[in-house]
């Protein structure tokens, strides 16, 4: 008997790109899709959506191709983890496909998203929320969610987060490890 998920001893895994594994389509109304998946629209998930859009643009990807890996570094509690649902709606990546992952930081001011292509080509992106923006959405009453979310969807990208390109092939500063990624990102799936 062949173990589940194996054929002739070889694991069958989805592949990035335009193929039968990636037949999904982006929602026509991303706002409604965030609400459907997450239960409400808030500034943290809209921020995640905006970051996913920027990452796809910068790395020349398209929704649902699953050719990017994303790691969302946030404290392990809401509202910070809400950013993950925005990243998912914005990119098509999911926790189940292992191309969207969570990593823990101690304080919300350390939050960022690291993104790279699964094929290893190009830069690693670091998308880091602006400290002033995060302060403006912290500890807000539920009655303000709609207004704060709309503002996030309308504001210029630079007011919300920075995008830094980190060349691959260089280790972390001072490590002497050529070829090391500055963030722990496992090889493609």
142 pLDDT more than 50:
yes
Question: What value does the mean pLDDT take over residues 17-39?
Answer: 80
Percent of all residues in the chain with a pLDDT value above 90, rounded to a whole number: 69
Quickly state the pLDDT bin for 23 (edges 50, 70, 90): low
- Domain around 141: 27-166
For position 72, what pLDDT does the model report? 98
Q: Is residue 53 part of a domain?
A: yes
Average pLDDT of the chain is 85
Q: Is residue 187 part of a domain?
A: no
For position 9, what pLDDT does the model report? 63
Q: Is residue 153 part of a domain?
A: yes
24 pLDDT more than 80:
no
- Which are the contacts of 24, defined by CB distance < 8 A and separation ≥ 6? 64, 92
Of the listed ranges 2-6, 103-107, 150-154, the one predicted with least confidence = 2-6
CA distance 10 to 84: 31
Burial class (CB in 10 A: 0-12, 13-18, 19+), 90: buried
Q: 59: domain CATH number?
A: 3.30.1330.130
Of the listed ranges 26-35, 38-47, 142-151, 167-176, the one predicted with least confidence = 167-176
Q: Is residue 39 part of a domain?
A: yes
Q: Is residue 81 part of a domain?
A: yes
77-99 residue pLDDT tens: 999 999 999 999 999 999 999 99
Burial class (CB in 10 A: 0-12, 13-18, 19+), 65: buried
Cβ proximity of 92 and 55 under 8 Å: no
For position 19, what pLDDT does the model report? 64
Q: Is residue 148 part of a domain?
A: yes
Question: What value does the mean pLDDT take over residues 170-187?
Answer: 43
For position 34, what pLDDT does the model report? 94
Question: What value does the mean pLDDT take over residues 166-183?
Answer: 51
Cis peptide before 79 (omega within 30 of 0): yes
Q: Is residue 124 part of a domain?
A: yes
Count of domains forming the chain: 1
For position 50, what pLDDT does the model report? 98
Q: Is residue 40 part of a domain?
A: yes
H or E element, residue 72: strand 68-74
Q: Hey, what are 83's tokens?
A: 């950013």
H or E element, residue 125: strand 124-129
Terminal alpha carbon distance of the chain:
25
pTM of the prediction?
0.82
Range 69-84 burial, b when 16+ CB lie within 10 A, else e: bbbbbbbeeebbbbbb
Question: What value does the mean pLDDT take over residues 97-104?
Answer: 95
């Amino acid at each position: 008997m062949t173990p589940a998920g194996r054929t002739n001893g070889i694991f069958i895994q989805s592949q990035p790109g335009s193929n039968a594994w990636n037949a999904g389509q982006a929602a026509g109304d991303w706002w409604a899709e965030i609400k459907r998946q997450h239960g409400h629209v808030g500034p943290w998930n809209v921020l995640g959506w905006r970051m996913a859009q920027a990452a796809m643009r910068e790395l020349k990807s398209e929704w649902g191709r699953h050719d990017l890996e994303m790691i969302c570094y946030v404290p392990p509690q809401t509202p910070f983890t809400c950013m993950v649902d925005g990243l998912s709606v914005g990119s098509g990546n999911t926790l189940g496909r292992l191309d969207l992952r969570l990593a823990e930081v101690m304080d919300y001011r350390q939050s960022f998203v690291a993104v790279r292509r699964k094929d290893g080509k190009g830069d690693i992106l670091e998308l880091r929320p602006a400290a002033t923006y995060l302060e403006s959405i912290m500890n807000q009453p539920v009655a303000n969610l709609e207004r704060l979310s709309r503002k996030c969807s309308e504001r210029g990208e630079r007011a919300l987060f920075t995008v830094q390109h980190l060349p691959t092939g260089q280790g972390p500063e001072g490590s002497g490890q050529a070829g090391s990624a500055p963030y722990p990102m496992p090889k493609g799936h």
